[in-house]
Each structure stands twice: as C-alpha cells, then as structure tokens.
Chains A and B, each alone.
Chain A
Amino acid sequence: MNAQIFADSHFVYLICAHLRDINGASNSKFTSNHSFNEDKQFPCNFTSMLFLTLLKESVFFAWHSLAANKLRTFLSLLGITIGIFAIIIVFTIVDSLENNIRGSIQSLGDNVVFVQKWPWTFGPNYPWWKYMNRPVPAYDELFDIQKKTKTAQAVAFRIGGRKTMKYKSNIVENASLAGVSYDYYKIKSFEIQEGRYFTEGEVSAGYNVCILGSKIANGLFPNNPYPIGEQIKIAGKKAYVIGLFKKEGESMLGNTMDHQVVVPYNFARLILDVKSEQSDPYIAVKAKPGVSNAQMIDELTGIMRGVRHLKPMADDDFALNETNLISKNFDVLFDIIGMAGWIIGGFSILVGGFGIANIMFVSVKERTNIIGIQKSLGAKNYFILLQFLCESVFLALIGGIIGLLLTYGITFLARGSIDMEIALTKSNIILGITISVLIGIISGFVPAYSASQLDPVEAIRST
C-alpha cells in the first residue's frame, strides 16, 4: 500500500512537471508533496524526454504493483516459466545432440565416400538377399583405386573388431580395435596428444605398434600419463604403444577415438578375420578440393566395376556411401524432436499467456479508481497503457528469465554427469527472452488498452 501511495505521489510530480511545461515554468501553480526542483530545466526535445520519463515511471509503477502482490505475481509467472523452460530445454538438448552428431560426421569427413558391402540407406523394396552375396571390400582393391583415381585426394582401408587389451594385470575387454592403411590419417580427423602416428614402413611391414584412445589408455595405464614405449597385449599379441589420441568425449555415432586402439592393417590381419563381414572392412575415399562427391562417385563406380570384373548389364556388387546420408536422416529426427518440444512448450506458453491476461484484467479492475485519479490529473491514455503494458511485460520477462535460469541449472548439472557438451546457447537465450516479451505484450495489451480508455469520472466512482 505504501508503495502505491509513493507511486501515486510520484505520478503527481510528473503531471505537475508536464503541466508546468505547458503553462510555462514561471507561472506554475502546481505543487506536489514530492521534492520538486523549481530550477530544473528540461532539454529542447522535451517530448521525447517526457516520454522516456513516463516510460521510466511506468516501469516503476509496474514494479511496485508486482512487488505488492508477490504470491499473485509468482503464480501468474509460473505458467510462462514452465513454458519457456519446456521450449528452451528441448531446443538446448536438440542443439547439443545436433552439434555432437555434426561433429562426429565432420570427423568422418564431409567429402568422403565409403566403399562398402551394404548401403547406409534403403527403401521399402530393399533387395537384401542380393546384397547378402556381395563380397566385402578387400585390401588389394585399395591399391587399384589408388592407381586409377583422378578425383581422390586420399584413399584408406580400415577393418575393425572388438578385442581384449591387457597390460600386466590391467585388462580392457571388448575394446574397439581398428586396422588401418597408412593414409587413414588423411581421411579421419583426430589429434595425437602424445607420441606419433605410424610411419609408412611400419604400416606396410605390419609392425606391432599401436595408438591408444584416452579411455583405453586410462584403463590400461591408470597411473601412467605417458605410456609411450610400453608393451601391451592385443588379443594375446604383443604391441608397442607409440601414440595417444587426444580425448574427444562421447560421440552419438560411437565413432569417438577415445575407445579405439589403432594398429597397422598388416598387423591387424593377424588378429582379425579380414574376410569376415564382422570386421566391417571399408575403403574410404576423400575427394580432391573442388571435386564434388557426385563426380567422385561416378569415377569410383567405374573403377570398382572394373576391379570386380562386372559385366555391363550386371548390378553393382558394392555400395558407395556418403556421410551426408547420415546427416539427412538425423535432420529429420531432430526436426521431429524440435517440433515435439515446440508443441509442448507452445501450449504451456499459451496457458501462461492466458494467466497473465487474466491477472492483468484483475489488476485493471482493482486499480480503476487510481486510473481515474491519474486521468483526472491529466495523465494521457498512452501513459496508462504503458503502465499496464510494462507490468505484463515485466511479469512475463521475469517468468522467462526464471525459466532460462532453470534450463541453465539443468544443463549445468547434466554437464557433470554426461560426457557430452550440453550448453544453453546465445540463440536460445535470445529466443527465450523474445518469447517472454512477446507473450507479455500480446497478453497485456488488451487489458492495458481497456484501462487507457476508461472514463475518468466513472473510474473514480468505481469501488
């Protein structure tokens, strides 16, 4: 109540200032109980100055009105808080997952084509029985492609499998083992934190050397941050550690180097069955700068058909897969998740908006006689409008900010428990604040406008 009285006296001061300007500063007969500086000079652009002052006053009124009814304020902004939280948390999770997957796909290479037995995507009439009889890519085909290609910058072969790694009494079971050709580093992006990559001689001679991912290194050497030169056993075969991959964190596609042990192909074939489909052998081909994937696929189709001695009318017995096929599939998935969050959050915000509109109508009804007094003292319609509009925008903005803080808190907690980057981005913060302000404007305009149109005499009489 005190806040309201103070706000009213402050308003009288403003009206006096306004009317003093209209009547001339020297013959002003208006006074107020608020301290008033008679010598105060207004700048030339008084209208804009007055507008800003009135806006400031509107904010002041709004703040005191909200502070005077704390419980009501809290309950009204709860709807907006939940709505903003629902929308922004979904967008934050979707953005984080999307960044993670895009990063994983990028690490595979944007302009890389994979020669494999199975295609990554297939339609409803998928002739799987034909694909069953296809041969898996062979190591020798790598050299054929390397010799004949004009569009490829690098060609690499990889096979993989799960094996047990052992160092003294430390064992890592089911670790991912990859046998690669020398040019693998030109296609797959990774960083070596300690040690080095293989030499060409080590790969061709099949030396028993390996590079460990950070999780594998932690498992085998928990107390040794520099295990270079140490001897481990991969499925019983001795291998020397020559390098450590830099930690990458979890990947949605599961292609993080953290869980991998990479060895030269000619060493891996002693451990893995190279002709087995279980080893998932593939040839990765990276295009030269300026060469499109389509151009390279055309060339690779011709080369592979030649290598496999396929007749002109025979179907291809290999698949050429591109990374953008994965990203297209994920785009659809993320659009669906984003849409679900949008619908859920949208409804919450709609309910929150109705809540604010309702509370603003109550607020106008409660303060009808104050509005009457203000208008009879000379308050313009736009001042009354601004006063209530500021109140609703304030209410929605506070709700939105609380929603954003909740989202930040959840992402902060999640960061500690999940080995994946989840962050509330700048664009989502802007979106949250924008939606809050919009809801404040849309739900508060009608009550504010109805307040501004009240007849002062009838408004004063109302109880």
Chain B
Amino acid sequence: MKRPLIITWICIIGFISIIFTFPAVFSPSVKKLGDFVPALYGFLVAGSFIAYIGLWHMKQWGVQLFLVIFFIKTLFLMSINDYGPGTISGIVFSVIFTGVFLKFYPKMDLNL
C-alpha cells in the first residue's frame, strides 16, 4: 500500500521530535532523576525512532511498537510526576496519531 500523505507528515514530525528529544537523554536534568533513568528514557527514544521507520514503510509492527512505546513513556512520565504542558501536548498528539495509524492499520504490511 502506498503511504498516505498524513502518515508521511506524522513520520516527519516524529523524526523531528526525536532529533530534539534525543539530546534530552543525556541532559543534566534527566541524569538527576536516577542512574538508570537516562538509559530507560534513551531506549524509549530509540524505540520511537524504530516505530516511525516502521510506519514510514507502512508496517503493522510500526503501529504496535508505537503503541507499546507510548504506553511505557506515559507510565514513565507519570512516575516522575511530569505533567507539564509538553507532556500533556505530547500525549494528546500521540492519541491523535494512534487514531490515524489504526485507521490505516488493516491495510498495512504484516511482515517485517
């Protein structure tokens, strides 16, 4: 299936957000939260990146991985009591993106 324009745009936004999120992995503020917090946060960022690659190629595993990462990321942000405007807007956008992905999910490729 040819990639719909809306997924292309979502993936571009996702890649741009990853470029800005990645440096936060080793930022002093995240480091202060605990020894393993940057590692966990980093793997969430890497997971998001891989999910967007999957979505770019219209793969079902991309949507599945996106949902898993979104769920863990939300739990992680709640555990550190981060309810800032950035977090809330991130959750809202992720929910909207999920709706779009699920709309096209049945037409996506099942294979890796």
Report A's interface with B, CB cutoff 8 A: 87, 91, 94, 334-335, 338-339, 342, 345-346, 380-382, 385, 426-427, 430-431, 434-435, 437-438, 441-442, 445-446, 449, 452-453
Bound-state CA distance A426–B27 (Å) is 17
B23 & A427 in contact (Cβ 8 Å cutoff): no
A462 to chain B, nearest CB (A): 21
Total interface residues on B, using CB and 8 Å?
21
Contact B26 A346 (CB under 8 A): yes
By a CB distance below 8 angstroms, the chain B residues around A91 are: 28, 31
Residues of B within 8 A of A346 (CB): 23, 26
Q: 14 other contacts beyond A382-B112, A427-B31, A431-B26, with CB at 8 A cut-off?
A: A91-B31, A339-B28, A380-B112, A426-B35, A431-B39, A434-B42, A435-B26, A438-B25, A438-B42, A438-B43, A442-B22, A449-B57, A452-B112, A453-B57
A-B contact pairs, 10 of them (CB 8 A): A342-B26, A346-B23, A430-B35, A430-B36, A431-B31, A438-B43, A438-B45, A441-B46, A445-B53, A449-B57
Of all chain A residues, the one with the shortest Cβ separation from B41 is A434
Bound-state CA distance A452–B36 (Å) is 32
Name the distance in Å between A440's Cβ and chain B's nearest Cβ. 9
Residues of B within 8 A of A431 (CB): 26, 31, 38-39
Least Cβ distance of B53 to chain A in Å?
6
**Min C-beta distance of B96 to chain A, whole Å:** 25
Distance of A446 Cα from B18 Cα, bound (Å): 15
Does B67 reach chain A (CB closer than 8 Å)?
no
Separation of A19 and B75 alpha carbons in the complex (Å) = 42
The answer to whether B112 touches A385, judged by C-beta atoms less than 8 angstroms apart, is yes
- In the complex, residue of chain A having the shortest beta-carbon distance to the beta carbon of B24: A342
List of 5 A-B pairs having minimum Cβ-Cβ separation, nearest first: A338-B28, A434-B39, A427-B35, A381-B112, A438-B42
Complex-state Cα separation, A169 to B74, whole angstroms: 71
CB < 8 Å: which of A342, A430, A434, A437 contacts B27? A342
Q: Which residues of A contact B49 (CB under 8 A)?
A: 441-442, 445
When chains A and B are docked, how far (Å) is the Cα of A335 from the Cα of B39?
20
| Cβ A438 vs Cβ B46 within 8 A | yes
Which chain B residues border A87 with CB–CB below 8 Å?
Answer: 26
Point out the residues of chain A lying under 8 angstroms from B39, CB to CB.
Answer: 430-431, 434
Q: How far in angstroms is the closest Cβ of chain A from B48?
A: 10
B68 CB, nearest partner CB in chain A, Å: 16
Q: What residues on A are CB-neighbors of B38 within 8 Å?
A: 430-431, 434-435
CA distance A438 to B48 in the complex (A): 12
What is the CA–CA distance of A435 and B23 in the complex, to the nearest angstrom?
10
Enumerate chain B residues within 8 angstroms of A94, measured Cβ to Cβ. Answer: 28
Question: In the complex, which residues of chain B have a beta carbon less than 8 angstroms from the beta carbon of A452?
Answer: 112
Chain B nearest Cβ from A30, distance in angstroms: 24
**What B residues does A442 contact at CB under 8 A?**
22, 46, 49
